[in-house]
Amino acid sequence: MSDYKPPLRDMRFVLNEVFEVPRLWARLPGLAEVIDEDTAAAILEEAGKISAEVIAPLNRGGDEQGCSWNDGAVTTPDGFTAAYRAFAEGGWVGVGGDPQFGGMGMPKIISAQVEEMVNAANLSFGLYPMLTAGACLSLNAHASQALKERYLPNLYAGVWTGSMCLTEAHAGTDLGLIRTRAEPLADGSYAISGSKIFITGGEHDLSENIIHLVLARLPDAPTGPKGISLFLVPKVLVEADGSLGARNSLSCGSLEHKMGIKASATCVMNFDGAIGWLVDAPNKGLAAMFTMMNYERLGVGIQGLAQGERSYQNAVEYARERLQSRSPTGPQAAGKAADPIIVHPDVRRMLLTMKALNEGGRAFSSYVALQLDTARYGADAASRTRGQELVALLTPVAKAFLTDMGLETTLLGQQIFGGHGYIREWGQEQLVRDVRITQIYEGTNGIQSLDLAGRKIVGSGGALYRLFAAEVRNFTANAGTELGEFCRPLNAAVDTLDELTAWLLDRATSNPNEIGAASVEYLQVFGYTLYAYMWAMMAKAALGKESQDDFYASKLGTARFYFARLLPRIHSLSASVKAGSECLYQLDAAQF
C-alpha cells in the first residue's frame, strides 16, 4: 500500500476558492475570533501530518492483529495506545469542541476535513475519537451544567473517551423496542440494567475512563420511541473532586468478529445496575441523540469518502508504474517492454470515476458541514433556519450517497490492481472490507433513503426540496455564459429531479408503498444532481486558471468527465423510480 498523502491542496481549494469560507468566518461573531484562512491552513497541515505519519502506518497491522478480549478487558492492536495519546495531546479529539470546556471551537467545515484525513489514514482508529465527539455533542447540548463541567473537559482532552449505547439484539433501527431499564435511586441517580450490542469503543485500553451514553426506559415511560431517556453511565465512577473512584457495574461481554474495521472494538455491553445520570428531561432521549445524529451521519459519509480517497491514491500510483500491454494508439513507453496501464481507456475510466466521485464528495461533505455551521453561527434567525432546513434535507443524502460512492471507488481501486487487488499485501482488499460497514451503521442506507423520500420530501410537501432547487437555479442563472457547458446539464438534471419529486409526492398520496419503492433510486438521483452542482461550482472556481496551473486543468477535465459519463446515470435511475411499487408485490412471501 502506498503512503497516505493528505489532499491538502484540494481541501484549500474547496474551502477558499469554491465556498470562500474565510469571508464567511470574518462576518460571524462566533467564528471571527477563532478561525481565519491562515489558521485553517495550519490546522489542516498539522492534522495531515499526524494522520500520515502516526496513524496511517498502523492501518494494516491493526487489521491483521485486531482487538482482543480477555475476561472483559479489551486490548487494541500494537501502537494504538501511543498513537491515541499523541492524537489526544495534540487536541484533535476536541477540534470541534466547545472552548468553554477545553475544545478548539473549530467550525464543522474544518473538523470535517480533519475527519477525512484521520479516517483515510485508518478508519478503525478514527472511530474512537468520532464516538467521543458525538457523545460530547449530546452532552454539551442537553446535559446539566454540572455534568458538562465534570465530564466534557476530560472528554475533549482525550483523557476519557465516549461511546453511544443504542442498539439491542432485538432493536436495531426501531429504537422504540429497546428494553434496557433505568430505576431511580434516592440520590437522584439511576440504576441502569440491560444489554447493548454493536457498541463501538465500548471497552478498550486507550483511555482511563469511558463515558457511555445509554438509551433506557424509566419505569413509568410510555411505550415506543416517546418513552426513551438518555443516561450518562461512566465505566469508572467519578468522585466529586473529579478523581476516579470505583468501577461501575458494567462490563464488555464479548467482541464482535467482523468483516472489516477489525482494530475498532465493537462490543457487547452489559449493564448490571450500573449507576448513571439522566441527560436532559425524562423520555427525551431520542431528541438528545438526534442532536448529534446530523453530525455523526455526515461523519460516516466522510468515512466512505476517506476510504475512496485512499483507494484512489493507491490505484493511481499503481497505474503509473504497472506495465501491461501497449496503448491502443501505439507504444507510449517505447524503451520498456510494455506501457503503464494508465494508457488504457478502461483504466482511465476507472481512475476518472474515482477522482470525480472523491472530489465531488469532498465538496459535498464540505457543503453540508457549511450548512451545519450556518445553522449554528448564522448572523440572523432566517439564515440559521435555512441552514437547519438544508441540513435536515441533505443529511440522509450525505450519509448514504457518500458511502455508496465510497464502496464504488474502493472496488474500482481494487479492480485497477487486477489480481494484486485481491491479495492482502497491497491493501486494496482491506479498504473494500472496511468501507462496507459505512453503508450499514448509523442507520442503513435504505433507512436514509426512506428518511429523505418519506420525512424530508413527502413529509414537508416538497418544501425542503424546493429550497435546495431554488439555490441551484439561482447559481445557474447568475453563473455566466462561460459556464454554459456545466450549467446546461445541471439545469437539465434539476428538471429531472423536479419531475421525479412531483411524481413521488403525487403517488405517495394514493399508495404508501411508493415511498419505499422509490426511495433508494430517488436518493441516488438526488446525489448525482448534488455532485453536479458541486462540480459546476468547482468549475467556476477553476475556469480561466487552467493555463496557469495543472491543478485547475485537472479540475476542469474531471468536471467534464463527470457531466459526460457519470451524471447520465440519473436517467436509468429515474426510470426505475417511475416503474412504481407494483412489481415489488407480485410475489407472495412463499414465492421468494
Residues 6+ apart with CB under 8 A from 542: 17, 552, 555, 556, 559
- The answer to whether the beta carbons of residues 216 and 255 sit under 8 Å apart is no
- What is the widest separation between alpha-carbon atoms in the chain? 84
- The answer to whether the beta carbons of residues 364 and 358 sit under 8 Å apart is no
442 classed as catalytic: yes
Q: How far apart are CA 523 and CA 544, in angstroms?
A: 34
- The answer to whether the beta carbons of residues 530 and 397 sit under 8 Å apart is yes
- The answer to whether the beta carbons of residues 363 and 18 sit under 8 Å apart is yes
Phi-psi region of 71 (alpha: psi -120 to 50; beta: other; left: phi over 0): left
Q: How far apart are CA 286 and CA 293, in angstroms?
A: 10
Element (H, E) at 398: helix 381-416
Query: How many CB atoms are located within 10 Å of the residue 468 CB?
Result: 20
Nearest C-alpha neighbor of 494 from the set 448, 459, 525: 525
Gyration radius from the chain CA atoms: 24
Cα atoms in the Cβ-side hemisphere of radius 13 Å centred on 473: 10
Task: Find where cell 475512496 sits.
Answer: 308
- The answer to whether the beta carbons of residues 182 and 229 sit under 8 Å apart is yes
Residue 245 CA to its chain's centroid (Å): 35
- Which triple of cell numbers denotes residue 530? 448534488
Annotated catalytic residue, options 442, 485, 521, 546: 442
Q: What is the DSSP pairing of strand 209-216 with strand 160-165?
A: parallel
Q: Which amino acid is at 221?
A: A
Beta strands (DSSP E) in 34-89 are: 68-70, 73-75
- The answer to whether the beta carbons of residues 112 and 64 sit under 8 Å apart is no
Q: How far apart are CA 57 and CA 113, in angstroms?
A: 20
Q: Is 183 helix (H, G, I), strand (E, B) or coil?
A: strand
Q: Which amino acid is at 363?
A: A
Q: Which amino acid is at 100?
A: Q
Nearest C-alpha neighbor of 235 from the set 197, 207, 255, 215: 207
Q: How far apart are CA 476 and CA 241, in angstroms?
A: 59
Q: How far apart are CA 250 and CA 235, in angstroms?
A: 7
Q: How far apart are CA 558 and CA 224, in angstroms?
A: 49
Q: What is the DSSP pairing of strand 229-234 with strand 73-75?
A: unpaired
Query: How many CB atoms are located within 10 Å of the residue 230 CB?
Result: 31
* Sign of the alpha-carbon dihedral angle for 183, 184, 187, 188: positive
DSSP letter (8 states) at residue 203: S
Q: Is 419 helix (H, G, I), strand (E, B) or coil?
A: helix
- The answer to whether the beta carbons of residues 351 and 312 sit under 8 Å apart is yes
Residues with a catalytic annotation lie at: 442
